[in-house]
Amino acid sequence: MAPDELSTPEKNWRRAILTVNATRRFRYTNYQPGAHKKEVEYSSSFSSRNSDKSAKVEPEATELAKKRWTTTVNTVLATNRFKFAITSSSKPVGKVDVDFRMDDAVPTLPNGFGITQQQLIDLLELPHEIERIVEVGGPKRVAKCLHVNTDVGLPEDPTKQEAYVLAFGRNVIKEQPAKPFWEYCYEATQDPTLILLVVCAAAALGTGIAIEGPATGWYDGTGIMFAILLVVFVTAINDYKQALQFRDLDAKNKDLRVNVLRSGMKHEISVYEILVGDVVMLATGDQIVADGLVLTAQSMELDESTMTGESDLLKKDPKHSPLLLSGTKVVDGYGTMLVTAVGQNTEWGRLMASGTDPEEADAKLAKLEVVFEEQKVTEEEYKRQKEELELEAASSGETPLQIRLNGLASSIGKLGLAVAVVVLVILVTRFLIEERWTEGGSNTANTMVEYFAIAVTIVVVAVPEGLPLAVTLSLAYSMKKMMQDNALVRHLAACETMGGVTNLCSDKTGTLTTNTMTVVKTWVMGCKRENEDRDAASTLDSFAASAKSLIFETMFSNAEGEVFSVGGDGQVLAVPVVTGKPTEMALLKYGLGLGGTPETGLSQVKILKKDPFSSEKKRMGCAVRDTGDNSVRVHWKGASEIVLGLCNRKMGQDGRVSAMSAGDKQELEAMIQSMAENSLRTICFAYSSLPAATVIGEEDDIPDKELVCLAIVGIKDPCRPGVPEAVARCQKAGIVVRMVTGDNVMTAKAIARECNILTSMGLAVEGKTFRKMSYSERIAEYGPRLEKLQVMARSSPTDKYDLVHMLRGLGEVVGVTGDGTNDARALKEADIGLAMGIAGTEVAKRSSDIIILDDNFASIVTVVRWGRSVYSNIQKFVQFQLTVNLVALSLNFIAAVGTGSAPLTTVQLLWVNLIMDTMGALALATEPPREELMEQKPTGRDSPLITSVMWRNIMVQSIFQLVLLVIYTFEGYRIFDLEEVTGECKDSDKTSDTPQDLCEGFWDEFNEHDKMDQHDTLYLHSIIFNTFVFCQIFNEINARQMVRINVFQGLTENKIFMAIIVFTGAMQVLLIETPASNFVGTVSLSGWHWFICVAVGFLSLPLAAVAKLLPMPDGDSFAEMQNNYLKKMTRSQSQSDLQSRLQVAEHQLEEERRKAVELKRQLLSFQNRVETMEGLNPDTVSMHTVSSASLAGRTSPLDKTSPSPTI
């Protein structure tokens, strides 16, 4: 179907955007870009093209009928339109120039502007058409229609801004509604074991009423049902609260800060405050937050793969390619844009409103598939991108720790299922053997239901669904607290991974230093100066006018910052406002301090081209044309040793240029080294004059040969307070801290020493040196784990990536910081990518796992402590959970075998399940981090989740509780002086309360259901239940400290833990002493027995203290034992796999040999035919010779002398 057909009003409703939901299934949205409410008739320039684009408002019934079209038709329509959009958007439009018609009159429309909202939307509607911009006269003509002066921007007056809001809307995208609470309840009820318990509850309710009557027969079934509802609601509430919390964090993550020009001043505002008509200032690494048009551009390239699926960078400029889409990213260069559409009116907004986030991996995969079908990417590139996106999709699910815990939970669940089956078989078998099928045997059905319910409940208790819940709770709690500590977590898994970091590769500027840069030492045209931060005004007093002019020209033309000397009210500012990157700000302030201004520096020149700063080249350039003599000058600035290396001349204070001798260069190099040793970042300025006939266009390179050195400045960026102490904490915690910077090696070493990073045994290396070294050379030079490599200077993003990649290959868990666009690769390669919230670009932030909001290294250390706290809290909960599971399963199994009944009823087991799963997870997962965590070694990739110390604590508590409860089960009647009733008197004059010795042998055995209902039996089981619960309460306190004896340290600081302990104890009292006991299967206990239950539970505390004195193998030894066991278990499987691979390789080898023999045979045949053919002309012979030679070239490599492939 042709795309233009889709634009007709009859088929406008069928416009569809291909979207992919979270389950990666396709769905289609009834997207109507032309169905917006018309504000006014279009202007004459648009009337002919858009007269048929208004969609008819059809009745609801008609709309519903249209939605019933078959999936096949919708698929064809959506796919064709999406393919056409991608194809058209990638068409080269560089040959079409936008005709700027600034003199045309601007119409006044009812909305108060010269253009309507629909016209602005159509400008950037996919597929892009440059002709639309040509029709309206270009970006500046659109700005004129919006009453915007592009040099000033929108006014700061809220009243005037409100007019833009009313006409064009706000930059807010309507989010998909949150999942309602009832859906979480429904999901919680889908647990198969809970469904079985519901069936058991219904059966118990029916049989109980039938046997015992309505008065009391409903107790058991109702109690089970109430316990099930309690579990469901607690689970749903937890999930619902977590979803709300993650939603809030996601909203904060999306709240980007954007630089705009308003009232002639630069302002940083929220992305939600962007309005149509705003002039947005773009720089490398920024994300486009609204649809718009390019106003100015300097070598600006964009990555539009988010919207189009194509990975090729697109150059943008106001004349040839001015269209900018929301959601795309500036990869290189800088410029300004005019916002033409915001919120729901952008292409991004329409996709989001349809339920699809273009940033999601699934949506990117769908686009990549279409692009590959159109042959826009190679197969190799397609496979690479697909692999990356699939990994991204996989990483967005469960965290590594959750996956490990799910495996552990599965194993425990299988064990619990086996125990439940055995217990059920034993109980039923004993009942069938011992029960007398008398007239009173109608209780048999109820007894069977109870047995089955107990078995199912054992499974419920055994399946530790609290393990994944504990991870989620701990991560969610940590994310919230880390936000308060200036760390925004973007990926949930980052919280736990950060705790295992063994290497931190940190940037210098802004992370280890304050990022407040000031020029303090200078060499300007031979004049050396100190204390330039206080006395720069007199530096150029003795300089010639031409020399001064050239200094100001190179300072202000070759700059990426901005200087605002006039305020929003039109008044001249006493102190000009300087904006830009810290280095640029320092240089511009120095230029102002010398007495210059942007006007004096740029008044006589016209900028031809700018080459933005590149981390690879370590310099930036600018070409200008003198408006007087029409000559061309190029200016360069950057890393001193690099720019100085391009110079062969120098300029004196009189403005004369002279050759630079070897001695002059050595003197300047020595001065640079001296500055660097004093922790100064050095920048060199140079220029070159070119003939007037020189032409430098956008596609031309700026010449950088035979430059004239003008100045060298030293910039001070002091070390952040607290960084040396934070580095020392990391080193004490077993984390190797390295500095990776683009600065001079001497500067890097000086700052590294101040920060305690570079030690006496440590080494520093330049990026180019590290790049040239082989793997073995690096190991030999810097140690088996590169532990001696502490500083990498003059590094490129590729060097940083190589370092991170090699460290990960050596088994290290690596965290790396980054702030630039080119750092994205290293941030993604690292286990933890840490982007800077202040200095970091949006590209770096999007590639990171955690954003450090204050750019402070001390905050990174805090994140490490939180990460370790997450892992430690999970281990605490695992220890607590396994203890409860082991005791509950063993007790029910032993009791079933020994007595034929289970001491813990279904409702009691469900209450225990609630204690140890939901409330236990909440209590232990919210333990705050302790400083002692930073005194431990980091947990490596293969560190066992359950350590030897944990096994010791689990076994000691389990044995204590199990022995105690088993004694109660078998000897409880005697210990607590209770009467064990085992039968009833046949004599009608006797009652069931008659003592056994008075029945004179007229006893028949009770059935099991009657036995369980006797008061003393219920009393004993109440004691067992109460003791078991209080053992868990005190053991929960034990779990707070796995090593230290004092478990009460910091107990009152965790309000959640205290509240859960108090709540659990109070609920236990209610379950025993109130009418709720009828449902739970308990009776009221005496004060003395209450004391015994609590006291016995309290014994868990001193017992744990004594157990912690037992020596255990260290973590490394235990991990090695576990790893050796795993290796032994998998060795046979590995041998089988190796044998299979060997057979495949031998088969392939034999196939290659067969092909080689066949090729040889054909070659000999050709040669024989050539020799026997006589009288052939030379061309024919030549042809045969070529054929023979070609065939010979196909000889299998196996026939050569190269070695056979290694298996």
Active site residues: 507
Following DSSP, what letter does each residue of 897-956 receive, concatenated? HHHSS-SS-HHHHHHHHHIIIIIHHHHHHTPPP-GGGGGSPPP-TT--SS-HHHHHHHHH
Strand partners, 647: 707
Tokens of 348: 């991004």
> Which one, of 276, 277, 255, lies nearest residue 170 by Cα?
276
> Which one, of 803, 824, 823, 822, lies nearest residue 814 by Cα?
803
Q: Is 31 left (phi over 0), alpha (psi -120 to 50) or beta?
A: beta
Tokens of 308: 């189009």
Q: Which residues of 359-380 are buried (b: 16+ CB within 10 A; e: fewer)?
A: ebbbbbbbbbebbbeeebbeee
By CB atoms closer than 10 A (0-12, 13-18, 19+), residue 658 is: exposed
Three-state DSSP state, 754 = helix
Please give the torsion angle defined by the CA atoms of residues 1071, 1072, 1073 and 1074, in that order, rounded to the nearest 10 degrees: 30
Q: Which residues contact 1088 (CB under 8 A, 6 or more apart)?
A: none
Tokens of 66: 């249209």
Report d(CA 822, CA 799) in Å as an integer. Answer: 11
Tokens of 684: 């060199």
Tokens of 156: 């700061």
> Which one, of 1074, 971, 980, 1066, lies nearest residue 1024 by Cα?
971
Angle between helix 1087-1098 and 1100-1107 (nearest 10): 10
Please give the torsion angle defined by the CA atoms of residues 877, 882, 883 and 887, in that order, rounded to the nearest 10 degrees: 150
By CB atoms closer than 10 A (0-12, 13-18, 19+), residue 457 is: buried
Angle between helix 181-188 and 219-254 (nearest 10): 130
DSSP 321: B
Tokens of 459: 């499974």
Q: Are strands 329-341 and 279-282 parallel, antiparallel or unpaired?
A: antiparallel
- Residue 1064's φ and ψ, nearest 5 degrees, are -65, -45
Report d(CA 975, CA 1019) in Å as an integer. Answer: 12
Report d(CA 580, CA 561) in Å as an integer. Answer: 4
Please report how many Cα atoms fall inside a 13 Å half-sphere around the Cα of residue 944, on the Cβ side: 19
- Are the CB atoms for 423 and 902 separated by under 8 Å? yes
CA angle 1056, 1058, 1061 (to 5 degrees): 110
A 10 A CB-CB count for 28 gives 20
Q: Are strands 736-740 and 789-793 parallel, antiparallel or unpaired?
A: parallel
Report d(CA 1163, CA 1190) in Å as an integer. Answer: 10
Q: Which residues of 422-432 are buried (b: 16+ CB within 10 A; e: fewer)?
A: bbbebbbebbe
Report d(CA 725, CA 755) in Å as an integer. Answer: 8
> Which one, of 320, 333, 397, lies nearest residue 361 by Cα?
397
Place of tokens 């490394």: 1116
Three-state DSSP state, 639 = strand
Q: Are strands 657-659 and 814-818 parallel, antiparallel or unpaired?
A: unpaired
Q: Is 567 left (phi over 0), alpha (psi -120 to 50) or beta?
A: beta
